[in-house]
Amino acid sequence: MEKILVTGGAGFIGSNFIYYMLNAHNDVSITCLDALTYAGSIHTLEPLIESGDPAFRFVKGDITDRDFVMKIFREETFDTVVNFAAESHVDRSIDTPEVFLKTNIIGTQVLLDAFNKYGIKRFHQVSTDEVYGDLPLEATDEFFTEETPLHTSSPYSASKASADLLVMAYARTYGTPVTISRCSNNYGPYQFPEKLIPLMISNVLNGKKVPVYGDGLNVRDWLYVEDHCRAIDLIIHKGAIGEVYNIGGHNERHNIDVVKTVLAALNESEDAIEYVTDRPGHDRRYAIDASKIEAALGWVPETPFDEGIARTVDWYLNNRSWWENIRSGNYQNDFARLFPDA
CA distance 150 to 252: 21
Q: In the annotation, is 156 catalytic?
A: yes
SS3 call for 109: helix
Q: How far is CA 206 from CA 165, 202, 272, 273, 275, in A?
A: 42, 6, 12, 14, 18
CA distance 92 to 171: 31
DSSP 27: S
Single out the catalytic residue among 34, 62, 87, 130.
130
Cβ contact 293:234 at 8 Å? yes
- Tell me the residue length of the chain: 342
Taking the C-alpha atoms of 257, 263, 266 and 268 in order, what is their torsion angle to the nearest 10 degrees? -150
3-state helix vs strand vs coil in the chain, percent to 5: 45, 20, 35
Single out the catalytic residue among 62, 87, 129, 294.
129
CA distance 62 to 36: 9
How far apart are the two ends of the chain, measured CA to CA in Å?
28
Alpha helices by DSSP H, the chain: 12-24, 46-51, 66-75, 90-95, 97-101, 107-117, 155-174, 196-205, 225-238, 255-265, 291-297, 305-318, 320-328, 334-338
CA distance 49 to 133: 39
Which residues face 339 on adjacent strands? none
Single out the catalytic residue among 19, 132, 156, 224.
156
Q: In the annotation, is 283 catalytic?
A: no
CA distance 91 to 154: 9
Q: In the annotation, is 130 catalytic?
A: yes
184 CB contacts (<8 Å, ≥6 apart)?
A: 129, 220, 221, 222, 223, 247, 248, 249, 286, 288
SS3 call for 302: coil
Question: Which residues are the active-site residues?
Answer: 129-130, 156
